[in-house]
Structure 1
Amino acid sequence: MHDTNAVASGHASDGLSDADFEDVADTASNAEYTYASIYGAASADSPAAQDEGGVEVHAAPRIQVTIAAPPRKQRTGPTPRDRQNRVLCHKLHVLSILAAARVRNRWCNNVDLRQKLQDAVPTFIINKIHAIHPRLEPERRERVRMFEAVMHELVDWWSRTYFLDQDICSAAAWRQPCMDILAGAQFAPRTRVDGWVVESAGARAARRSKRMEIAIFPPGDGVDVPTYLRLAPPAESCSPRDLLRLADDRVVSRETSAVLFCATCRALGIPARLVVSVQAPSWSSSGATKRQTEPAAESSDASDAPPVRLRSSRAASADARAAVCPHVDLSAPPTVWVEVFSKPFQRWITVDPVRSLVRATGARGMEPIAADRTNKLLYIMAFEEDGYARDVTARYTRTLNTRVARLRMHGRDSEWWPRVVRALHRPQKLDRDAVEDAELADNVGKEPMPTSVAAFKDHPVYALERHLRRDQVIHPAVRIGTFQGTAVYSRANVINVHSARQWYNEGREVKPNEIPLKWVKARTYTLTSKRIEEQAKADGTESQEPLYSYDQTALYVAPPVRNGVVPRNAFGHIDLFVPSMLPAGGAHIPYNGAAKIAKKLNVDYAEATVGFEFRRFASIPRMQGIVVPKEHEKAILAGYWEAEKEAAEAERIKREERAFGHWKRFIVALTVARRLYEQYGGKPLEPVKAQPEVRQLQDKQELLQPPQDEVRQLRDIPEDHVVEPPVADEELRAIPACSSPPTAADTSRIIPLEEFIGEQAPKRRRIVLRRKQ
């Protein structure tokens, strides 16, 4: 629900159908979601599943996402399905805003728009830009000063020329979505919320238009009426033609002013980026309970910015009787701005055309304060003229690893945002990209120390000993600072340690005379370890195990195969947890049936243990193949594949014999059924017109007809053979019992046997039923 005009136009013009977004739009791979239709053609008035919690989205072209939850015990707080829904909404919202920004970045390259904006720029500014050339000014420092002075003059002229409308700015602002709806709050119909208009269920059913619409279900298991939203008419621009019109009117919103300024810089030959701070709903369920009722706090650098010129506000839309979202604070940091590349300085310079700010360092004046609920710094992407984008979040915040990283997706979804960045990043790296990477890395390295104990947890630069896991230790323990009397260490000195058994499972062994770096309580997985722990407690001690680092271990070398004998452990097997544990002179055959072949060839072998499974407090080894001497590997493999071939042939013969037996019983059963009908029916069966279901059976006659050699074998059936109906045949089970003479309705469903199997029917045999003695 954030900048709905941008989202709608992004779907219509560019959308998420490009190949760059295909590998990052898989946002629900680990979640239990049901996608009703994607780009489908469902009707706009289809009823939503009001009795199931979820989110339903329709778009033009239609996008419908239905997330249904099974009935469960009702609860008031958010359910696990609600948390999954919030993660899905967060990802989809981020991708939608990036797609919309990509479209607007493409509009900046419109030839007609560039020509119009270039003609509007004063001539003296253009002349000063052309004067910044090494031939005219050989001094590099002077060219840097001249470029910054020209940018200040261009920004001052822009702020005096283009005016802002407060109503348009509020309607088209790229802000944080309203959390009240996600928390389950209900609004009156025709209320405008973040570019969407609330409507009643009756109005939604009566409307037949194909506008984008959303049905938001409140969290929890209770059966509540969802909030129906439809996309409001565009408040401003949705095509390059609208930008041309706005360039003539010169009354725009804050975001459109940045887009037009970016197009103006590109028209003047200045490399410019369109920078977007993505405003997406919180992926955490705890953010749904927060209400955005307080106005946005003013920025700390608002006093440095000149006053913004406003025009008289226009009339509000007729569809929006009330607006839930607050007015935009034009003195606060923006969500869309511009970066221009200074060729003399070889750096990107931040430019805010609305507040007339030109800063060589982006962090100052562009980062919103933590109390601002309409603007959260999460993801900042800069779109260049060729359509590629870069993640420049590190330039605009000093708390990337402390605060911003916690607001982003983390945990099992921590790799989602890096995949998005890689999809939008330029495949090849330019010289200025390498310089920028070094600059961003330097900004991250200059990040100050956290101001709370909780911020030190999982911090990529600093670490506290209290936050270490069981298998972590600080080595060497060099203190780089203190926080509230506690030693602070570098995260680079935090290493992982394991026990000797764990290192052995990775194919390494502890070096002799090594001192453990850490002692921890032994873990009990099996009954044997539990008995050892109980015995230690009875003796007044505690069972502990030492932990060693990687540097304290060496590669495990297994005893070699000598004189054709494979080394074994105490259980008669050989440990092969990693390929490096294979003994010299041995070969691993990873087939469980190879042991029989080795035994037939009288070759020494040992079963390979490749891991363990823990079930019911017992450690069960997992076996895979055998280890044999290297010189016998080819012979055993040849014998194994030959045995497999013979086994497959035997299975094929058995399957054919089983099929022949079924055919035999089937033909004999049909013969018996025909004779019984003719004997007890009073007259022979006459050919009848096949019914529809019989026609279907006749179509399968070629599949059901047995070969001639099988029919010849059936003629040798003895006369005293007792016939048993085939158990697996469904057609014979449908034959009615012969307790009474068949009627016309019964005989109409029977086909003469000659028509079914032709002239190859066996001769009638006398069936003798013998009673068991």
Structure 2
Amino acid sequence: MPGRKRSAPIDNPSPRTTRATRSSARRTAAKNDNDVIPDVVKEMVVEVRKAKQAAAENEDTPTEPPRKRKRPGEKPAKPSKENDAGNDGNDEETEFEDVPIPAPTIQTMVRDTDDEEDDDDDDDDIQFEDININGAQANTRYEGPKTLDLDLTAYMTSLAPKKGDRRKALGREEKDRRIETHKVHLLCLLAHVELRNRWCNDPEVQDALRPLLSRKTVGFLRPRASLNQFSRTESLRRGISEAKEVFRTRFEITERGLQRALWAENLDQLKDYKPPPDAETTRNKADFLKAAQTLRGSRDVGAQLFCALLRSVGVEARLVCSLQPLACVAGAPTMPKPSSKTMPKATQPSKAEQYLAAVAKHETKFTPTTPGTIPRSRLGHPDATSYQIPSLLAPSPSTSPPLPTPKTQVKKIKGESPFPICWVEILDHAHQKYHPVDPLVTFSQFNPKVYEPPSSDLLNSLTYAVAFNPDSSCLDVTRRYAKAYNSKTRRWRIDGLVSSRNGLKGERWLRAALRRYQPPSVTDLLQIELNELKAAELKEPMPRNVMDFRDHPVYALERHLRRNEVLVPGAQVSGTVGSAGGRGGLERIYRRRDVKVARTRERWFRLGRVVKGGEVPVKVLPKMKRKKKGRLGDGDDDEEGEQGAGNPVFIESQTEVYVPPPVVGGRVPRNRFGNVDVYVPSMVPRGGVHLPHERARRAAFVLGIDAAPALTGFEFRGRQGTAVLRGVVVAAEYKGAMEAVIQGLEDMEVEEEQERKTRMLLAVWRRMLKGLRIRQRIMDGVDEEAEAEAEARKQEDKGKGKEVDMPDFDDTATPFHDDEDEDSAGRGGFFPSTNLDSDDEGGGGGFMVEEEEEEEGGGFVIE
């Protein structure tokens, strides 16, 4: 390891050092040599001088002076012939080529402090000028080199994420549960907004709000039809502005409105969870009417009352709500963890105490002044100084509540999102267009781009924005307010889930959920609005980062293609995008319409198509590896590969419709398994017909015609597939006969079922009647007095609620029974039995069509 750079001797300074500096350094060194310079420095200087003297004695040629700096335009000097052999083009090596360098003496310097960095090594003589020699101790001792231990393990451990901070991955069951919860929550929120929309149509609510608007404002809100298009729009804009300002100054926000629902990672977060004390208290229609009369409530109720206010004066207004259901995808924000630094409940001041403390802190005391010195005296009115400012304190309960006074600023609840949950859309008849209006949160109108909160807002998320009309019909208007609907908003919705198991189920479910709120008819206004929303979706700009291209409906990246997706040959590039940090280079962007699904030959055959001859596969899928439990990962193919390297796949343009062999002479062509492949209706052979009835094979057997089982698909359980056979394929000329026989077989089965039920009922009745006959024979030999006592005891026990016992018979009374009834009487069978499988005649009883007593064994028989 090389040591520190040696210091140059004082008597041989560097050429770059000036003459004054050298003389000054010599005088300073000579003066303070014995007083200030440490012994270690003196030893170093002596050793350097000795080394230089030894080098001068052994040197054959004098040292060459330093070369001059090359001037501009000067040609380089030719090297001498003596140095051609050892010179390889480096001038510096030529300078020190013949100079023998002695072995340097390595010394170790121990720094007193580590505040300063190492000195500059470019100039060896200047290093003594930066040392504070006067402040150094003369008797400093050298204690030897110190070892510096660097422990990077603890430092890297501190930078590593903690185990508790890592979010656990969701399993399949948890994902399905969240999807179902999301659906139920979404339906509940839709019903909630529908109910509030009906309350906005209530006549009492509208009568309470109508006096807020002046006649002039109402005139602006309902412009005359004789005005031109621009004037009508400006009149509506001015009327909305005045109504918004009046409502903003009159309405007071006192409660907390709806906010985003979050998942809890564990149950500990829900133990001490309580709804906020200032949560909205509007539960029924009476509370809503009270809020309209007092103009107090949450900002959501305020938006709903503003909608009712506009409807009361004839403005066609819609109530818009941004629904906040629980997320249905992984990676959504969760509830914040409870803080351990919260104060104990006993030491926390109450809401009233906090309010009084805040009022006392900001209270201002005015000193009494003379009437001539107050500012109101300069208004010029003689009674200006006698006007008393009304008190801001709450009125006493005995007095009637005054009308709400205008306020200059709307109160906001701490902790609420700065973006609205509910707002209003009004119809501009001049342009046949809806415009949004928010009177309480953003104070905006006719600007739909200010309603979407950022992704960092945990209390509000614009995912579903639905607009309810006065007739309770609604429309999804999310695309009007979302800035990146396709790339960001859509992936948080149920209709944006794209997976191998879900597919388009989410989109179909949302259409079915909104079908209840569809308008009764498609009007011209509705068609114009649908076209506007579609155009807004198409005008959405291209995403700027790679992650937004995943599952994008318009654009696609090659890295995001699924296993069974390929680009069509000759796909045009729409642009490029760079990865995060620019390390991965630029990636090409393609249109989603140029992405096609590729399938194997077997998969295309199940869709009724076959690959054309001579087609080259567009891709070869590698064989999928089995997991420990024997299940496969995500894939589209359920069959084994055709080649050892993988499964070749083809796109739809490389296939054609499958044409099966026709039925000839009543004989149906079969595959090697004796079936007919009928995965789709187009695969039925020409001249044949598919009868998907469960009794079709029996009907063909009865008629004695040729019929082949129809293979309609497979049922897969893991990797194993079971063929599904449904009906048969026969010649078309036998269709009528087959249907007649199938109908006859169904009628026969109905008759057999009815006959079976009849036999069962007759057997039950026979059993009951036979038991009654046996009881009658037993009771014939019982004394009348004993029977009366038994009946009295039975009634007495029945009145007391006791269990009735069988009567005690006289020992002299011998019941008559025959051999047939002995078995039944021995079993105590007084009740009908449902055992219908017994062939014993004594095992049943009931009504008989024709009955006669048998001489042997007794009983009844049915003929």
Does TM, normalized by the shorter one, top 0.5?
A: yes
Alpha-carbon deviation of 1:451? Answer: 4.2
Q: Secondary structure, in 3 states, of the residue corresponding to 2:269?
A: coil
Residue 147 of structure 1 aligns with which residue? 236
Distance 1:313 1:97, change over 3 A: farther
1 CA distance for matches of 2:663 and 2:512? Answer: 47
Residue 624 of structure 1 aligns with which residue? 726
1 CA distance for matches of 2:177 and 2:719? Answer: 37
Alpha-carbon deviation of 1:669? Answer: 10
Contact 2:820 2:857 (C-alpha < 8 Å) held by counterparts: no
Given residue 467 of structure 1, which amino acid in structure 2 is its aligned partner? H
| 1:175 matched to 2:220 | no
What TM-score, normalized by structure 2, do the two folds share? 0.54
2:456 to 364, 367, 371: 371
Contact 1:277 1:381 (C-alpha < 8 Å) held by counterparts: yes
Residue 525 of structure 2 aligns with which residue? 432
Taking only the aligned residue pairs, the percentage that are identical comes to 28
Alpha-carbon deviation of 1:548? Answer: 2.7
| 1:458 matched to 2:543 | no
2 CA distance for matches of 1:664 and 1:677? Answer: 20
**Structure-to-structure mapping, 1:465-504, within 5 angstroms:** 465-475=558-568, 477-484=571-578, 485-504=586-605
> Which has the larger share of strand?
1
Q: Looking at CA atoms only, which structure, 1 or 2, has the larger radius of gyration? A: 2
| 1:511 matched to 2:559 | no
Residue 678 of structure 2 aligns with which residue? 576
| Deviations 1:70-111, CA, capped at 9 Å, x for gaps | xxxxxx998988766655654454444433433333333344
Residue 255 of structure 1 aligns with which residue? 300
Alpha-carbon deviation of 1:479? Answer: 1.8
2:475 to 387, 390, 400: 390
1 CA distance for matches of 2:755 and 2:215? Answer: 93
Aligned residue pair count: 564
| 1:119 matched to 2:211 | yes
Distance 1:313 1:514, change over 3 A: farther
Distance 1:120 1:597, change over 3 A: closer
Residue 217 of structure 1 aligns with which residue? none
2 CA distance for matches of 1:394 and 1:569? Answer: 52
2 CA distance for matches of 1:89 and 1:396? Answer: 25
Q: Secondary structure, in 3 states, of the residue corresponding to 1:341?
A: strand
Given residue 276 of structure 2, which amino acid in structure 1 is its aligned partner? V
Q: Secondary structure, in 3 states, of the residue corresponding to 1:402?
A: coil
2 CA distance for matches of 1:183 and 1:85? Answer: 16
Given residue 399 of structure 1, which amino acid in structure 2 is its aligned partner? A
2 CA distance for matches of 1:755 and 1:634? Answer: 45
Given residue 197 of structure 2, which amino acid in structure 1 is its aligned partner? N
**Structure-to-structure mapping, 1:717-736, within 5 angstroms:** none
| Deviations 1:660-690, CA, capped at 9 Å, x for gaps | 89999999999999999999x99xx989759
1 CA distance for matches of 2:605 and 2:720? Answer: 19
**Structure-to-structure mapping, 1:1-80, within 5 angstroms:** none
| Deviations 1:534-561, CA, capped at 9 Å, x for gaps | 9x9xxxx734333233333333222222
Q: Secondary structure, in 3 states, of the residue corresponding to 1:509?
A: strand
| Deviations 1:350-389, CA, capped at 9 Å, x for gaps | 22212573443301x2111221112221221222233322
Alpha-carbon deviation of 1:520? Answer: 2.2
Given residue 519 of structure 1, which amino acid in structure 2 is its aligned partner? V
Distance 1:339 1:575, change over 3 A: closer
Q: Secondary structure, in 3 states, of the residue corresponding to 2:511?
A: helix
Distance 1:638 1:92, change over 3 A: closer
1 CA distance for matches of 2:659 and 2:700? Answer: 25
2 CA distance for matches of 1:533 and 1:357? Answer: 63
Distance 1:493 1:601, change over 3 A: same
Given residue 483 of structure 1, which amino acid in structure 2 is its aligned partner? V
Residue 99 of structure 1 aligns with which residue? 191
1:268 to 308, 313, 317: 313
Alpha-carbon deviation of 1:242? Answer: 0.9
Contact 2:310 2:317 (C-alpha < 8 Å) held by counterparts: yes
Distance 1:572 1:763, change over 3 A: closer
Given residue 338 of structure 1, which amino acid in structure 2 is its aligned partner? V
Q: Secondary structure, in 3 states, of the residue corresponding to 1:101?
A: helix
Alpha-carbon deviation of 1:289? Answer: 4.2
Alpha-carbon deviation of 1:274? Answer: 1.9
1:193 to 276, 286, 301: 276
Given residue 340 of structure 1, which amino acid in structure 2 is its aligned partner? I
Distance 1:367 1:289, change over 3 A: closer
Given residue 341 of structure 1, which amino acid in structure 2 is its aligned partner? L
2 CA distance for matches of 1:237 and 1:722? Answer: 74
Residue 22 of structure 1 aligns with which residue? none
Given residue 148 of structure 1, which amino acid in structure 2 is its aligned partner? R
Residue 665 of structure 2 aligns with which residue? 563
Segments of 5+ residues of structure 1 without an aligned counterpart are 1-75, 197-231, 295-310, 316-325, 696-718, 735-752, 768-773
Residue 493 of structure 2 aligns with which residue? 408
Contact 1:587 1:633 (C-alpha < 8 Å) held by counterparts: yes
Q: Secondary structure, in 3 states, of the residue corresponding to 1:349?
A: strand
Contact 2:765 2:846 (C-alpha < 8 Å) held by counterparts: no
Residue 293 of structure 2 aligns with which residue? 245
| 1:553 matched to 2:655 | yes
2 CA distance for matches of 1:314 and 1:125? Answer: 31
**Structure-to-structure mapping, 1:227-376, within 5 angstroms:** 234=282, 238-247=286-295, 251-283=296-328, 287=332, 289-291=334-336, 327-328=413-414, 332-355=418-441, 357-363=443-449, 365-376=450-461
| Deviations 1:455-495, CA, capped at 9 Å, x for gaps | 32222222222222233222252221222222222222222
Residue 15 of structure 2 aligns with which residue? none
Contact 1:666 1:725 (C-alpha < 8 Å) held by counterparts: no
Given residue 602 of structure 2, which amino acid in structure 1 is its aligned partner? R
| Deviations 1:122-165, CA, capped at 9 Å, x for gaps | 444344445x4352x43x33443443344334433443x32534
Distance 1:286 1:611, change over 3 A: closer
Given residue 264 of structure 1, which amino acid in structure 2 is its aligned partner? L
| Deviations 1:497-534, CA, capped at 9 Å, x for gaps | 322222222222233444433332467999xxx9x979
Contact 1:533 1:543 (C-alpha < 8 Å) held by counterparts: no
| Deviations 1:692-750, CA, capped at 9 Å, x for gaps | 9xx9xxxxxxxxxxxxxxxxxxxxxxx99999989x9987999xxxxxxxxxxxxxxxx
Distance 1:92 1:579, change over 3 A: closer
Q: Secondary structure, in 3 states, of the residue corresponding to 2:596?
A: strand
Given residue 133 of structure 1, which amino acid in structure 2 is its aligned partner? R
Distance 1:356 1:613, change over 3 A: closer
Contact 2:598 2:650 (C-alpha < 8 Å) held by counterparts: yes
Given residue 291 of structure 1, which amino acid in structure 2 is its aligned partner? P
Distance 1:151 1:668, change over 3 A: closer
2 CA distance for matches of 1:676 and 1:111? Answer: 81
Residue 71 of structure 1 aligns with which residue? none
Distance 1:416 1:182, change over 3 A: farther
Distance 1:292 1:766, change over 3 A: closer
Q: Secondary structure, in 3 states, of the residue corresponding to 2:541?
A: coil
Contact 1:110 1:240 (C-alpha < 8 Å) held by counterparts: no
2 CA distance for matches of 1:660 and 1:453? Answer: 78
| Deviations 1:255-285, CA, capped at 9 Å, x for gaps | 3332332233233333222221223333457
Q: Secondary structure, in 3 states, of the residue corresponding to 1:450?
A: coil
2 CA distance for matches of 1:523 and 1:85? Answer: 28
